[in-house]
Amino acid sequence: MTTVPVAPDTFHVFDTTLRDGAQQEGMGLTVLDKLRIAALLDDLGVGFIEGGWPGANPSDTEFFARAADGELELRHATLVAFGATRKVGATAAEDPQVQALLDARTEVICIVAKSHDEHVFRALHTTLEENLEMVRDTVSHLVSQGRRVFVDCEHFFDGYRANREYALEVVRTAADAGAEVVVLCDTNGGMLPTWMGDIVSAAAQIGVDLGIHCHNDTGCAVANTLAAVEAGVMHVQGTMNGHGERTGNANLITVVANLQLKYGWEVIPPESLREATRIAHAIAGVTNVPVTNRQPYVGQSAFAHKAGLHASAIKVDANLYQHIDPTLVGNDMRMLVSDMAGRANIQIKGSELGYDLADRTLAARITDVVKAREMEGYSYESADASFELLLRSELGMADRSFEVTSWRVFTSHETKPEGDSEATVKLRVNGEVEWLVGEGHGPLNALDVALRRALVRAYPQVEAFELTDYRVRILDQGHGTDAIVRTLIDTSDGSRTWTTVGVGTNVIEASWEALHDAYRWGLLSHRKAHN
């Protein structure tokens, strides 16, 4: 039987999205972005939010000033300012960057200290003794000013392997100077879980509360964090959605969910954990870095099932192929429809969409249709809207909002202000024929303009429809420009987003099919919502 570790009396969940996570390639956060993310992190119930490095750049200095002046109200978390030990040859009391940490007006300050001897020699260009004095002086000065101090021992694990005694002496010096927690950092992300225990245990002999900070360069950041927890740390650092430079940091949501749902430790309020999926995606909306579909616990695919065998079991008990109840993290089970689907997949998916497919013969027939369509290149696992339209057609409930009788599009090398393409769409809506021309930048834009104009008089709600993403994939690469292509279109009306699919050897025809279905499903959904 597996032994579950006992929770320490005090345990810290420390988020560093706004500092270490913000170093991710391509990410740039404004002060307003950071204030919004901090509020969301507080909703999650983390204990500490590291907001950045005041004095190192103007935006972080402004962030702390605005937070201190009342623009950030935290219910659960304590805001933390990050900085470094004083400069070589100076004193902490006279170092302007140390003073900037005090000026940030946070209760807690986290400073980074060198714990790898080679970094002391080659980065700081000083002696091992002076580095220890820099740690001692900075920590004691900040403590004397009434601050709680955490110390990040940078490159601790690499430093321990190179010079065990010195790395431990840095930890000891920080503790003796008054550091509340000393954090062991796998800065290069090179550790493996089986290597963690002995090193953390050796540091624990010093008698100070320890933390862990892992990067994901070996793909083991979460596992390394949990291994360190089992070895005795009482403070875990990580970032939302695993943000961070290179391959990122330990994903804090995954760490927290594992501690809470696997170990049984209440490290954040249970009601906050049930908001994890919402919060992860809300933060992704601010950072403009989408949550990976396969991210544990909160990803769109975290509880998605595709194989027919899984679906048959799930009909008996939803948890037969799920390691937890998805609602515990605010997520939900999704049934995917594909050529791997069995009758059970179709029945469950139909039920999710509000259709009764209990008739086994009917469900089997629809399953065969789906598999045949998938063989042609369609993909319904990511295009629920197109699947519902197909389902309604097979059930004799096809949408009749409008009927397109013809369409065509022209494009040329000549670019005008209104675009380089012209489309004509002729359709019948409410018994009347509409024949409209649209101009746009590219064939799809022109077709969208024409279709929207043809429908807007009968259905004013289409004005809110907006294409938000468009993806094209070649399915049989050996045929070159004659290949079959699949297009996926995401459309939004401002409150929800839906996906439709089109397939053909003509990319414009495939795009038109997906666009046409997007309008059909949008109108269908609007009608259902108002009936």
pLDDT(357) > 80: no
pLDDT(315) > 80: no
Model confidence at 504, pLDDT cuts 50, 70, 90, reads confident
Does 227 lie in the same domain as 163?
Answer: yes
Distances (CA, A) of 140 to 83, 127, 133, 135, 180: 15, 20, 10, 8, 11
Does 334 lie in the same domain as 273?
Answer: no
The CA distance from 45 to 424, in Å, is 54
SS3 of residue 67 by DSSP: helix
Helix (H) or strand (E) holding 82: strand 78-84
On average, the pLDDT of the chain sits at: 88
The mean pLDDT of 172-183, rounded to a whole number, is 98
Phi/psi at 50 (5° precision): -85, 115
Does 159 lie in the same domain as 84?
Answer: yes
CATH code, 270:
3.20.20.70
pLDDT(380) > 90: no
CA 301 to chain centre: 12
In sequence order, the 6+-apart residues with CB closer than 8 A to the CB of 409 are 421, 422, 423, 424, 443, 446, 447, 508
Phi/psi at 249 (5° precision): -105, 175
In sequence order, the 6+-apart residues with CB closer than 8 A to the CB of 104 are 54, 61, 64, 65, 68, 81
Could you tell me if residue 531 is inside a domain? no
Q: What is the pLDDT of residue 319?
A: 63
Structural domain that includes position 186: 12-287
Does 111 lie in the same domain as 159?
Answer: yes
Q: What is the pLDDT of residues 194-215, one digit of tens each?
A: 999 999 999 999 999 999 999 9
pLDDT(505) > 50: yes
Could you tell me if residue 370 is inside a domain? yes
Q: What is the pLDDT of residues 218-275, one digit of tens each?
A: 999 999 999 999 999 999 999 999 999 999 999 999 999 999 999 999 999 999 999 9
Q: What is the pLDDT of residues 418-458, one digit of tens each?
A: 788 999 999 998 888 988 888 989 999 999 999 999 999 99
Does 440 lie in the same domain as 338?
Answer: no
The total domain count for the chain is: 3
The mean pLDDT of 378-400, rounded to a whole number, is 82
Q: Nearest to residue 19, comparing CAs of 52, 59, 65?
A: 52
* Torsion, CA 188, CA 189, CA 191, CA 193, rounded to 10: 160
Tokens of 58: 């103007």
Does 210 lie in the same domain as 319?
Answer: no
**DSSP code per residue over 87-103:** PTTS-GGG-HHHHHHHH
4-8, 74-78, 301-305, 319-323: which is most confident: 74-78
Q: What is the pLDDT of residue 458?
A: 92
CATH code, 447:
3.30.160
Tokens of 524: 């269908």
Q: Nearest to residue 296, comparing CAs of 263, 235, 250?
A: 250
pLDDT(345) > 70: no
Does 308 lie in the same domain as 273?
Answer: no
Structural contact between residues 208 and 180, judged by C-beta atoms closer than 8 angstroms: no
Q: What is the pLDDT of residue 334?
A: 61
Phi/psi at 481 (5° precision): -70, -10
Query: String of b and e for 469-482 (b: at least 16 CB within 10 Å)?
Result: ebeeeeeeeeeeee
Structural contact between residues 5 and 228, judged by C-beta atoms closer than 8 angstroms: no
Q: What is the pLDDT of residues 454-502, one digit of tens each?
A: 999 999 999 999 998 888 887 765 555 667 888 889 999 888 888 899 9
Does 343 lie in the same domain as 261?
Answer: no
Phi/psi at 51 (5° precision): -90, -15
Could you tell me if residue 132 is inside a domain? yes
The CA distance from 384 to 289, in Å, is 23
- The last residue of one of the domains, among 287, 322, 351, is 287
Model confidence at 3, pLDDT cuts 50, 70, 90, reads confident
SS3 of residue 53 by DSSP: coil
Structural contact between residues 88 and 117, judged by C-beta atoms closer than 8 angstroms: no
Q: What is the pLDDT of residue 338?
A: 44
The CA distance from 61 to 52, in Å, is 8
Model confidence at 388, pLDDT cuts 50, 70, 90, reads confident
CA 198 to chain centre: 33
Could you tell me if residue 494 is inside a domain? no
Q: Pick the range with the lowest mean pLDDT from 19-23, 157-161, 403-407, 430-434.
A: 430-434
More confident residue, 12 or 391: 12
Could you tell me if residue 394 is inside a domain? no
Q: What is the pLDDT of residue 400?
A: 82
pTM of the entire predicted model: 0.71
In sequence order, the 6+-apart residues with CB closer than 8 A to the CB of 481 are none
pLDDT(337) > 60: no
Does 45 lie in the same domain as 124?
Answer: yes
In sequence order, the 6+-apart residues with CB closer than 8 A to the CB of 269 are 45, 76
Q: Nearest to residue 277, comparing CAs of 234, 324, 223, 245?
A: 324
The CA distance from 181 to 235, in Å, is 8
Does 282 lie in the same domain as 324?
Answer: no
Q: What is the pLDDT of residue 232?
A: 96
pLDDT(82) > 70: yes
Could you tell me if residue 40 is inside a domain? yes
Q: Where are the beta strands (DSSP E) in 338-391?
A: none
Residue written as token pair 């345990």: 11
Could you tell me if residue 518 is inside a domain? no
The CA distance from 368 to 200, in Å, is 57
Phi/psi at 388 (5° precision): -65, -40
Could you tell me if residue 530 is inside a domain? no
Residue written as token pair 């065969």: 368
Q: Provide, rounded to the nearest whole percent, the portion of the chain with pLDDT above 70.
A: 91
CB neighbourhood size of 20 (10 A): 24
Does 209 lie in the same domain as 87?
Answer: yes
According to DSSP, the residues that pair with 150 across neighbouring strands are 110, 181
Does 185 lie in the same domain as 54?
Answer: yes
* Torsion, CA 194, CA 200, CA 202, CA 203, rounded to 10: 160
Q: What is the pLDDT of residues 273-293, one digit of tens each?
A: 999 988 998 888 788 788 888
- The last residue of one of the domains, among 458, 473, 491, is 458
CB neighbourhood size of 466 (10 A): 12
Q: What is the pLDDT of residues 52-66, one digit of tens each?
A: 999 999 999 999 999
Q: Pick the range with the lowest mean pLDDT from 75-84, 136-145, 317-326.
A: 317-326
